Amino acid sequence: MRSEYALWTRDVEERVLPVLRELGIGLVPYSPLGHGFLTGEIRSPEQFDATDWRRTSPRFMGENFRRNLRLADEVRAVAAEAGATPAQVALAWLLAKGEHVAPIPGTKRVARVEENVAADGIELTGEHLARLDALPPAAGDHHEEEQMRMIER
């Protein structure tokens, strides 16, 4: 099964993941880095060019953006403690969810592919996992209304 699943998008945890585990079905989470937000490199909506869809995404706007920065900052703090990048921590957290979870981060650069692959070697402590599990979901809807109408057809 393919669904969005990340530190800031956990809709599948309560009802879908237990069923997938019971049936032996794998999950291939897309956007495991929160559309780049969990890398810690996005610090302002002004970083997006005029054609970037994130400019209209509720999670990347106004107060939601500011609230979500706190979530990204906590991922960054765990990364510093673990000797990893925030992206590696976000991926390692997903990989810790079980063998049936195989995230597919998108990237355009070889260096990012190498960074993402290295996440498999990151050992998060029980304390790190508990801190990450305790993070609140992202503030704001996944997409703006027009995008949701297209998705829900």
pLDDT at 43: 95
pLDDT at 1: 85
User: What are phi and psi for residue 68, nearest 5 degrees?
Assistant: -70, -25
* Tokens found for residue 57: 């995404």
Condensed to tens digits (0 to 9), the pLDDT of residues 86-96 reads 999 999 999 99
pLDDT at 132: 98
Condensed to tens digits (0 to 9), the pLDDT of residues 55-99 reads 989 999 999 999 999 999 999 999 999 999 999 999 999 999 988
Pairing of strands 28-30, 2-4: parallel
Burial degree of 9 (CB within 10 A; 0-12, 13-18, 19+): buried
What does pTM read for this prediction? 0.89
Burial degree of 116 (CB within 10 A; 0-12, 13-18, 19+): buried
Amino acid at 102: A
Average pLDDT for residues 25-43, to the nearest whole number?
94
3-state SS class at 151: helix
pLDDT at 108: 85
Amino acid at 116: N
Average pLDDT for residues 30-41, to the nearest whole number?
93
